């Protein structure tokens, strides 16, 4: 799937693109069918909510789950980012975020690139998230919130929050959030929240400031995130485990568009278990 010139202009202005209902119900069903078994695993790659058994984030499913290995190579998710970067991509991070009914906690205001820069030494912001809704997303079940145009501020100073939730983030302080929201329109569009049916997709800039509230509704809000990075912009430090920040920088080769519904072969290197090396970390900077 390729972007039009108008879509590219909108992305550069607003920092995100929203594609409601891009994936068909039978495609979403194929992905959803695999989630319960993945969430049931007692592995390091399943981060659970603080004080709860609910999964907050499942990492690296594309390395051990066939449906998500296919999604990781899907042209509807990969090709638009290739258009924006004019370069081949590798998978920096793959996660299935489980904002579960009544238990899904907040994600504080942050930029994704803030974490990738500070923790992984990613050289520039030539990386971004592509998200697909596995559930319908409404105003009640903790939808993503964006500050339109905030990516144009560039990299923002952030603090490392290790206490608010079970997953640490480099977060943006409230005073600056207020200024960014006012600059984007205040109560008239200073915060937007794309909502839509399961199968909808969002593509957003790694410096776009975003957050989500807790899910107090009776409806799950599970989403998949592909964090795609230009191959030339690969990370330079392995401070975080490999299941969180990947170390394989080979370019993604897309499968055909019908890959979620047909039996295409995919490599599953962790299908027999996550290797011990995936837990190893280092503060040493690697060469480019």
Condensed to tens digits (0 to 9), the pLDDT of residues 221-261 reads: 999 999 999 999 999 999 999 999 999 999 999 999 999 99
Residue 26: give its domain's CATH number: 2.60.120.620
Distances (CA, A) of 105 to 36, 43, 164, 225: 19, 20, 10, 17
Is residue 141 a part of any domain in this protein? yes
Is residue 276 a part of any domain in this protein? no
Residue 41: partners with Cβ closer than 8 Å, 6 or more residues away = none
Q: Provide the 10 A C-beta neighbour count for residue 153.
A: 18
Is residue 148 a part of any domain in this protein? yes
Check pLDDT > 60 for residue 163.
Answer: no
Query: For the chain, first and last CA: distance in Å?
Result: 30
* Rounded distance between C-alpha atoms, residue 76 and residue 286, angstroms: 32
Is residue 226 a part of any domain in this protein? yes
For the segment 187-228, what is each residue's pLDDT rounded down to a tens digit? 999 999 999 999 999 999 999 998 988 999 999 999 999 999
Is residue 9 a part of any domain in this protein? yes
What is the rounded (10 degree) CA torsion for 77, 82, 87, 88?
Answer: 20
**Pairing status of strand 201-205 against strand 55-59:** unpaired
What stretch of H or E contains 12?
helix 5-14
Is residue 270 a part of any domain in this protein? no
Show the domain range for 192: 5-264
Number of structural domains in the chain: 1
């Amino acid at each position: 799937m390729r972007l039009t010139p108008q879509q590219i202009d909108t992305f550069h202005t607003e920092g995100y693109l929203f594609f409601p209902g891009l994936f068909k119900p039978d495609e979403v069903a194929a992905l959803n069918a695999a989630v319960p078994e993945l969430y049931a695993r007692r592995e390091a790659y399943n981060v659970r909510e603080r004080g709860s058994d609910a999964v907050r984030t499942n990492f690296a499913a594309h390395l051990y789950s066939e449906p998500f290995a296919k999604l990781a190579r899907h042209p509807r998710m990969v090709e638009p980012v290739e258009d924006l970067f004019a370069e081949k991509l590798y998978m920096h991070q793959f996660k299935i975020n489980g904002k579960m009914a009544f238990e899904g906690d907040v994600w504080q205001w942050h930029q994704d690139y803030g974490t990738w820069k500070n923790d992984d030494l990613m050289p520039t912001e030539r990386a971004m998230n592509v998200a697909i809704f596995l559930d319908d997303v409404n105003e009640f079940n903790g939808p993503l919130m964006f500050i339109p145009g905030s990516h144009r501020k560039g990299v923002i100073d952030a603090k490392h929050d290790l206490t608010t939730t079970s997953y640490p983030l480099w977060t943006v302080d409230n005073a600056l959030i207020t200024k960014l929201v006012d600059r984007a329109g205040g109560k008239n569009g200073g915060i937007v929240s794309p909502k839509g049916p399961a199968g909808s997709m969002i593509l957003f800039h790694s410096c776009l400031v975003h957050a989500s509230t807790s899910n107090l509704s009776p409806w799950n809000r599970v989403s998949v995130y592909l964090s795609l990075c230009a191959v030339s912009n690969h990370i330079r430090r392995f401070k975080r485990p490999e299941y969180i920040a990947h170390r394989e920088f080979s370019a993604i080769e897309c499968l055909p568009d019908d890959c979620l519904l047909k039996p295409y072969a995919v490599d599953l290197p962790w299908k027999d278990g996550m290797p011990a090396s995936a837990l190893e970390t280092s503060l040493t900077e690697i060469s480019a």
